[in-house]
Amino acid sequence: MFSKKIKVLKKSYLKNSDFWLHASGMNVEKRFTDKTRINEEIYDLKLMVKSGVKTIILNHQGDYKKKTARHTQYLSSYLEKTLKTKVYYVRKVNKISIDIIKKKIETW
């Protein structure tokens, strides 16, 4: 058993000037026939957006070793509509994409 209590995200933890990293596994197919996994993340993400927190979402789809991994750019438009905020998708993280992200963050 865990000896420490696991904290659940609360509005009181979020400050407007904060940057948060949100790791998720929004396993949703491009056709969006089953939104169960993505909708599990929406409550926390909405809370972050409403609190003015700048959030970077790390998402995975599939398994790299089993060669089932795929990019999830199609989630960006769904998240934008659902969260009513701009969502930027970065396909590959490298020096160039990090610089682009930094510039976008500066304008938030």
Give percent above pLDDT 70 in the chain: 96
Residue 42: inside a domain, yes or no?
Answer: yes
- How many structural domains compose the chain? 1
pLDDT, one tens digit per residue, over 74-94 is 999 999 999 999 898 888 777
Query: Domain limits at 48?
Result: 11-106
* 3-class secondary structure per residue, the chain: CCCCCCCCCCHHHCCCCCEEEEEECCCCCCCCCCCHHHHHHHHHHHHHHHCCCEEEEEECCCCCCCCCCCCCCHHHHHHHHHHCCCCCCCCCCCHHHHHHHHHHHHCC
pLDDT, one tens digit per residue, over 35-46 is 888 988 999 999
Residue 40: inside a domain, yes or no?
Answer: yes
What pTM was computed for the model? 0.77
